[in-house]
């Protein structure tokens, strides 16, 4: 399923509820940023790192 057609609906529903989120950035830059809490957890973090490496995704980790 393609997410793009649903984005305008999701945006209208979620933006008012999550006002502190950044919902758009520079229109000239085709990038996306996702954030999530990975722990780190010994049973999950290595698998996550392998997926990021396989897809050549740059990542930042804050402690």
Q: How does pLDDT run across 32-46, given as a tens digit for each residue? A: 777 767 678 888 888
State the CB neighbour count (10 A cutoff) for residue 45: 13
In a domain, 14, yes or no: no
Query: Looking at residue 54, what is its pLDDT?
Result: 93
For 6-21, write each residue's pLDDT tens digit.
Answer: 878 888 888 888 888 7
> Per the domain annotation, does 55 fall within a domain?
yes
Confidence label for 50 from pLDDT (cuts 50, 70 and 90): very high
Answer whether residue 19 is part of any domain.
no
pTM: 0.48
Q: How far apart are CA 59 and CA 27, in angstroms?
A: 21
Is 47 contained in some domain?
Answer: yes
Residue 52 in any domain: the answer is: yes
The DSSP H or E segment spanning 52 is: helix 45-54
Residue 18 placed within a domain: no
Phi, psi of 55 (to 5 degrees): -95, 10
Domain for residue 28, yes or no? yes
Containing domain of residue 36, as a range?
24-63
Total structural domains within the chain: 1
* 15 occurs within a structural domain: no
């Amino acid at each position: 399923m393609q997410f793009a057609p649903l984005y305008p609906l999701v945006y209208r529903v979620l933006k008012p509820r999550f006002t502190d989120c950044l919902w758009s950035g520079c229109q000239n830059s085709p990038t996306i940023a996702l954030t999530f809490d990975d722990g780190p957890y010994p049973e999950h973090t290595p698998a996550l790192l392998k997926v990021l490496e396989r897809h050549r995704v740059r990542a930042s980790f804050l402690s």
